[in-house]
Chain A
Amino acid sequence: MGKVMLEVRNLKTKYITRFHEDVYAVDGVSFSIEEGKSLGIAGESGCGKSTLALSMMGYYFPPLHYISGDIIIDGTNISGLKPDDVRKTILGSEIAYIPQAAMNALNPTQKIIRFMEDVVHAHDPKKDKKSIREMAEARFAELGLPPSVLDKHAVELSGGMKQRTVIAVSTILNPKVLIADEPSSALDVTSQKMVIKMMRELMEKGYIKSMLFITHELPLLYNVTDDIMVMYAGQIVEKGSAKEMVFDPVHPYSHGLMNSILVPEEGTRGNKLTAIPGTPPNLKRPPDGCRFAERCKYATADCRYTNIPEKTFDDKRMYRCLMGVDELKEVYGRE
């Protein structure tokens, strides 16, 4: 087992709405990522994927609030730090975050090299511009990006190039963990492939030690990450290796997700593509029992009122359901 780069223990965070209602968006999430590994998070809109990503940076600002739990990056617990300390010591150097619309964050009046300088100066104010430029040029050359981009403004770049530039800028300080929240969703397939290729290179060349990748596109996760975690209504409902999760899911919700996979491969036209009926529960008042029970065709009265524990099987696989693995495999095998 490799060195653990990121460990999250029983993390709970909530949003407080303007009507002073609590929305429990991340509710008791635990997982870890080892050095050199990548983990994917899948789930439908509103299941808490992006809130989990935000919560993991330890940088909370309203309406998001921390409740409890630990975030440990390479042995250091960052969960109790003040926002200012997190910004100065953690963001960029320990953990980097790329939101979905990252490319829109570039100030149109500044050249790309200025963003590089900003990131480096935030952690090392004395570093001179010449050495930052050398550093940036070397990194761009390593990643196969055209160095001319450094002297361009954001408006001169295409969407895909902007997104790759943002990734290169945010990882210039070699963070231990990279959190990428739907980094390629707004791009077409070719640009998406380029973004993924670059992220792979960052991992292979050791500029980032581990990666957390969030998307609802399962074929993409399958090709990018080692492990996949499925999230539903603020909780992790299943975890396993990418291959196991795509070809041999256990949890009823994961089965629903895998049924939504669309790929241009022979025979997929004949696959059954069915939507999961119903909508996720309101997280202002999460159900007592299984959160998926209302949408699950195998749910019983017990499911609705019993607290569902996390169960493990085959060493590393985890799921959250009252039914046993064999029982689940049997009912889905019959379908």
Chain B
Amino acid sequence: MTNPKQALAQPASSPDAASGKQPGAAPGADGRGAPAGADSWRSRLYRWDMKASPYAFIAPFFLLFGAFSLVPLLYTAWYSLHDVQLSALDHQTWAGLDNYKNLLSSDFFWNALGNTFTIGVISTVPQLMAALGLAHLLNYRLRGSTVWRVVMLTPYATSVAAATLVFTLLYSWDGGMINWILHFFGVDPVNWRESDWGSQFAVSSIVIWRWTGYNALIYLAAMQAIPTDLYESAAIDGANRWQQFRHVTIPQLRPTILFTVVVSTIGATQLFGEPLLFGGVSGSKGGSEHQYQTLGLYMYDQGWIIGNLGKASAIAWSMFLILLVVAAVNLLLNRRLRKSQ
């Protein structure tokens, strides 16, 4: 019986054995009519092909990535070090780090950063917890389970614009359905768009509505890959449903949970469409006191409404750096978790 390692090694070693012959004599002995140089040329071509082909196959992606992501990214960095106005793109004056200094001393920037963080937390945390709960429920044997799964994905299938429009009407100050429901509980109408926490809550609710089902499906897929014998042995040990969820499901889902946390965090950092459309006219201000102006909105406002592209580029790069920090923290956490397992 051959051990698989040996079997693998054999074909690899045979060319070596062949080249062990006298190089010059080989072509003649083989009786092939090819001239001496051709074989080495061909084998070089073959080797080159083996090495280069994979790169050639993935090259289109990197070409597109370079043209539409990398170049703009670097160009944005260049812009961020200059004073550039939208109306005078060709007149760039070197500004060094002025744009960044300007940002660090700007209340609007810190406010936007804070809003991005709080909206991120109040949208991501409930969203992922609800998704986990929903996935757990869907993991039971249910009648018409496919229907439930499709239903869960429908919010994700609506466009941001359509969803936000409907939510804006629901949250409308007078005549909105949410204030109408609240009035049965004796609550005075809330001016959702202009209140500090109300507006952040409203924007978050749109995000939660759109993304919960999506995350639930990811969790569900991961849950179904958990071996059933783990549950069986847990049951034998006397664990009830909750304990099984707590001590079998959650630990098994850890990598998936981490993945969704990272994806949601990136989404939250770049949050843009929902608050912009929720704000309606001059939505890029994010409310009269910028109470829900996220970093994305602040960048758009600076670059396209006010026309200060240099500063907008600096905001873009700051967002990029923030995401790098988030990714680094995630990597550390990931390693720590893996070690503890």
The answer on A and B forming one complex is no
- Taking Cβ atoms with an 8 Å cutoff, the residues of A that contact B are none
